[in-house]
Amino acid sequence: MTSNRSEAWYRSRSLWLDEVDLGAPRITLSGDVHVDVAIIGGGFTGLWTAYYLAVARPGLRIAVLEREIVGYGAAGRNGGWVGAGIAGSSAVYAAKAGWQRTRLASHLTEQAVDEIGAVADAEEIPCDYLKRGTLTIARTTPQWQRLQAEVDHAKTTGMLAPGVELLSPEQVRDYVAVPEVVGGAFTPHCARVQPAQLARGLAAACERRGVSVYEHTEATSVHSNTVVTAGGVVRASSVLVATEAWTSRFAGQRRRYMPLTSMMVATAPLTAEQWKALGWPPGLTIRDRRHLFFYAQRTSDDRIAIGGRGAPYALRDPLGEFDSAQSDNTAIWDRLIRTLHEHFPGTEQHTVTHRWGGTLAVPRDWSMGVRYDHSTGLGWAGGYSGHGVVASYLAGRSLCDLVLGVNSPHADAPWVGHKSRRWEPEPLRFLAANGIVRVLDSADRREDSTNRAAWRAKLVKPFMPPA
């Protein structure tokens, strides 16, 4: 079914979509077309793939099919963190590809942060890209221990990115005045963006290079060389599926990913005095090290946009429930608002103007995959487990090189060909999803009140990524 919703409805999906000029909708596919590459999904994965294909081979006939509008999915709703680091578990990739290749892949993620900024610059995409790094704060001893262990583990495996450092409470205060901090860590490898602007600007850049982008065009069935939509059939030498969380709606794909919802709120703009009191510089992204961590950015118009996990998973239709019941998830938003007030004094006086959420795809081993089969011309990418802004860029580059048969670090990255095993059938996946959230939430509350590591967090270890 192809939807045709109002502009107001799309705007209400996120602060970011509310801020962009949506303009007139793009055309919907009507009639059959023949192209070289058909890409399903107008999010970051689909658009980066189309962009790099069009750059590498001008004249290639490329069509992007989007069931709603460009940036409707997680690409237009996320935290706007363009953060380095492999999406998933380094250990999972290293087990197959070895640490040397996994380290190279990690460097690709660091370079990607700059490359995304360079494309935004070259294509004049006004997406507020600003690279000032990420501060992770610990406000309890267990959070601090986890941070230290993470940095130690990265050192031992050779995966520590250059410039990453642990910080004393005094050093944390040089970045931001969060109360009761016991330690922190800084990485320079992260930028903030207005993600919907990036997605929509990227679509326009693709179109300038001759890519056809169709909106309100849902792929109802996908085969090698053929995509069926309500308005027509697309025939293509290569068909690439870039639908992340929605992939589980395709026949036979239900257990490929666990669709998890992440929620966000944004405040009204803070005053210059408040920013001065907080000391939080523009562009710096901030998170904590709870099990159900928060992630926050200072937006270019001086709001705080903060997000976190914890929304319940609906058994019947995790994605459908989320879109129709978005405004009922008040408990999660209330928790985010409490987190905001606890960490950033003075924000209590500020109205929360936007509340939203979005769905991301988690494979069974939490590790992304990109595949392309030359014999059928069918490819797909996804499973970024909530760390998808850089990962979708890299997946797009990998898909592009695989389709063109180009040997490159992107085509040789350890996520290429990686296949995670499927999730347990329902209701086990439902129990796992809600169990993870409940157990981790309870572990966080226990740690906050006792200042000791809550061992109950280990109960969900079988469902979490290997260290």
Check binding of 79 to ligand FAD (CB under 6 A). Answer: yes
Amino acid in the structure at residue 74: A
The CA dihedral of 152, 164, 264, 310, to the nearest 10 degrees, is 0
Check binding of 73 to ligand FAD (CB under 6 A). Answer: yes
Instruction: Return the structure tokens found at 40.
Output: 């399903």
Q: Hey, which bits of 320-403 come out as E strands?
A: 352-362, 369-373, 378-382
Binders of ligand FAD in range 11-50 (CB under 6 A) = 40-46
Kind and range of the H or E element at 136?
strand 134-138
Interacting span for ligand FAD (CB under 6 A) from 25-33, 52-60, 76-84, 347-355: 76-84
Q: Is residue 80 within 8 Å of residue 74, measured between CB atoms? A: no
Q: Which of 110, 128, 215, 244 binds ligand FAD (CB under 6 A)?
A: 244
Q: Looking at beta carbons only, is 81 or 144 nearer to ligand FAD?
A: 81
Check binding of 383 to ligand FAD (CB under 6 A). Answer: no
Please state the closest distance from residue 28 (CB atom) to ligand FAD, in A.
11
CA distance 252 to 263: 28
Please state the closest distance from residue 216 (CB atom) to ligand FAD, in A.
9
Cis peptide before 126 (omega within 30 of 0): no
Helix extents (H) in 344-427 = 388-404
Q: Which of 10, 33, 49, 83 binds ligand FAD (CB under 6 A)?
A: 83
Q: Which residue has the tokens 């410039």?
A: 163
Q: Which residue of this chain has its Cβ atom nearest to ligand FAD in the complex?
A: 388
Interacting span for ligand FAD (CB under 6 A) from 77-85, 141-149, 269-277, 430-438: 77-85
Which x/- pattern over 282-311 shows residues binding ligand FAD (rule: CB under 6 A)? -------------x-----------x----
Q: Is residue 367 within 8 Å of residue 415, measured between CB atoms? A: yes
Q: Is 326 helix (H, G, I), strand (E, B) or coil?
A: helix
Q: Among candidates 395, 392, 394, 401, which has minimal Cα distance to 57?
A: 401
Check binding of 360 to ligand FAD (CB under 6 A). Answer: yes
Which x/- pattern over 209-228 shows residues binding ligand FAD (rule: CB under 6 A)? ---------xx---------
Check binding of 242 to ligand FAD (CB under 6 A). Answer: yes
Check binding of 66 to ligand FAD (CB under 6 A). Answer: yes
CA distance 134 to 56: 33
Q: Which residues of the shown chain bind ligand FAD in the complex (CB under 6 A)?
A: 40-46, 65-68, 72-75, 77-81, 83, 218-219, 242-246, 262, 264, 295, 307, 357-360, 382, 384, 386-390, 392
